[in-house]
């Protein structure tokens, strides 16, 4: 019996943390906990709506092939910046990931991730304080090692500068 002992495998349930925030949860046939992609987007949309403010937030899926520099979000155009408010990512094999803009200015160091591991940057609660600001008219990118297929979701806004 574990933390998820009251959740039946291959059915959806609600996971509630100590603050009373709830999120969808499903166990796979072998008992691994996961959040379904469609539920994740619903959850992210709820969190984005809670941020308020005039900025329009967007969430997109991240599905990047291994080995090289890959655009997560294309450059937004003249006099615009990408502001990254939240990020979740995982790899299917051991590897490294570094986030940067296309100047290239590093937004993180090179992070080592184990297969099935990942990280989360919770959505910034302040519209004026994103995790990362890309330089004007530059893409948001990931630099991946040879084995690091990288999947996840990013929440961002395009800001006029």
**139-157 pLDDT tens trace:** 999 999 988 888 999 999 9
Confidence band of 126 (pLDDT split at 50, 70, 90): confident
Topology adopted by domain 55-160: Jelly Rolls (2.60.120)
DSSP string, 75-120: ---TTEEEEEEEEEEEESSSEEEEEEESS--BSS--EEE-TT-EEE
CA angle 155, 149, 133 (to 5 degrees): 30
Annotated domain spans of the chain: 55-160
Confidence band of 69 (pLDDT split at 50, 70, 90): very high
Is this prediction's pTM over 0.75? Answer: no
Cα–Cα distance, 29 to 25 (Å, whole number): 13
What rounded mean pLDDT belongs to the chain? 77
Residue 128 pairs in a beta bridge with: none
Task: Pull the structure tokens for residue 59.
Answer: 């969430």
CA angle 50, 89, 22 (to 5 degrees): 40
Cα–Cα distance, 107 to 96 (Å, whole number): 14
């Amino acid at each position: 019996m574990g933390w998820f002992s009251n959740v039946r495998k291959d059915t959806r349930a609600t996971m509630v943390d100590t603050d009373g925030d709830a999120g969808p949860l499903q166990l796979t046939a072998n008992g691994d906990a996961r959040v379904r992609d469609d539920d994740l987007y619903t959850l992210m949309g709820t969190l984005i709506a809670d941020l308020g403010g005039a900025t329009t937030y967007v969430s997109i899926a991240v599905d990047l092939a291994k080995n090289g520099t890959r655009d997560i979000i294309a450059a937004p155009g003249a006099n615009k910046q990408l502001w990254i408010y939240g990020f979740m990512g995982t790899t299917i094999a051991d590897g490294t990931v570094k986030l940067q803009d296309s100047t290239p200015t590093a937004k993180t160091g090179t992070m080592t991730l184990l297969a099935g591991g990942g990280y989360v940057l919770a959505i910034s609660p302040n519209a004026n304080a994103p995790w990362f600001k890309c330089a004007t008219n530059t893409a948001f990118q990931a630099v991946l090692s040879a084995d690091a297929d990288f999947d996840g979701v990013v929440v961002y806004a395009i800001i006029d500068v």
